Chains A and B, each alone.
Chain A
Amino acid sequence: EIVMTQSPATLSVSPGEGASVSCRASQSVSSNLAWYQQKPGQAPRLLIYGASTRATGIPARFSGSGSGTDFTLTISRLQSEDSAVYYCQQYNNWPPLTFGGGTKVEIK
């Protein structure tokens, strides 16, 4: 099973600033990585797939990068509505599909 490790656990950022969330895989997942945003009481929302392709309707200030074992989700010009937990998910070696433990992004 591929283990996905996210860092940091919590990130506190001022509005208008940028934020970066890291995701590391225990072995290469090529570019088969997705990112999700989850707000309290809601289902996750797909942001990025293929490591860097934005899902339908996702603002351009969300971007993904990386391949192999190291990936980054970057949120530029943070807005209050971006306060959420962000998860990465690999879909290269499965079953099982596996998720990272999540990074909570707080707006100062």
Chain B
Amino acid sequence: QVQLQESGPGLVKPSETLSLTCTVSGGSITSYYWSWIRQPAGKGLEWIGRMYSSGSTNYNPSLKSRVTMSIDTSKNQFSLKLNSVTAADTAVYYCATGRIWSSLYYDYWGQGTLVTVTS
């Protein structure tokens, strides 16, 4: 069973870059697409994007200009960078994937990590 664990700074200053890592266990990082989804406090879910180990990426058009995703297969980790953050980027960030390699719905989720954008 795939397990996911997010890590990264909980506080980021406005205009700086948010950087998070998701560590994958119980499955090969080369076998699935890997996604990031976020959720502001008390609000709904927003899909940020996904990537495959080949480097193929799909991003939410609303965030595309600020998002970069990458994979480190040697560490079984994938990462999210979101630049020029504002208070609107404050949210719980989840990494997620599906049971089927190209699945567009999510069977497996990390526990989430809260990122607060504040000066």
Name the distance in Å between A32's Cβ and chain B's nearest Cβ. 7
CB-based contact B47/A96 at 8 Å: yes
Contact partner, A49, options B44, B105, B110, Cβ 8 Å: B105
**By DSSP majority rule, is chain B's interface helix, strand, loop, or mixed?**
loop
23 pairs, CB–CB < 8 Å, chain A vs chain B? A43-B111, A43-B112, A44-B94, A44-B106, A45-B109, A46-B105, A46-B106, A46-B107, A49-B105, A89-B45, A91-B104, A94-B47, A94-B104, A95-B47, A95-B49, A95-B58, A95-B59, A95-B61, A96-B61, A96-B62, A99-B47, A100-B44, A102-B44
Query: Given contacts A97-B104, A98-B47, could you give 17 more A-B pairs where the C-beta distance is less than 8 Å?
Result: A1-B61, A43-B94, A43-B96, A43-B110, A44-B45, A44-B94, A44-B106, A56-B107, A91-B105, A94-B47, A94-B58, A95-B47, A95-B60, A96-B62, A97-B47, A99-B46, A101-B44
